[in-house]
Structure 1
Amino acid sequence: MKEGCYELWSAAELVAMKFYQKGCHTFVLTCTTNLLMKGPLNRQPMIDLSRAVRFLRKHASGFHIQPG
């Protein structure tokens, strides 16, 4: 996940928009970060990502996507 993270919404949205303009479905996920370095995050970012994927699969028809 590290390579796909951005600290600013605008940076993430710009990347998502480039893929969208090429015909891809895109989503920008806000996940747990450790900006203050107050302890390890452990698996929390992966848990956030898993929840987002489950949400998208559950609501796929509303987003007009075919998960798989």
Structure 2
Amino acid sequence: MAESAKKVAQQTEDRLEKVAENIRERFEQVTEGKFTNKIKEGRFADQVDHGIDHGRAEVKRRQQGGST
């Protein structure tokens, strides 16, 4: 009886290890570079940094002789 209990415990431990491995793999797939992927896909490309645009406009006015 002690042998069968050890066998059941070992099988349970093996199953739990497989479950934990599957969970880790799925978690990595879900979280894998989400933000990086969004940048690569150009999802933020349409967002304009208005501070840079404002600075460029100031420089252009200065070059054209306008006041700042």
TM-score normalised over the length of structure 2: 0.32
The structure with the largest alpha-carbon Rg is 2
More contact order relative to length (CA 8 Å, sep ≥ 6) = 1
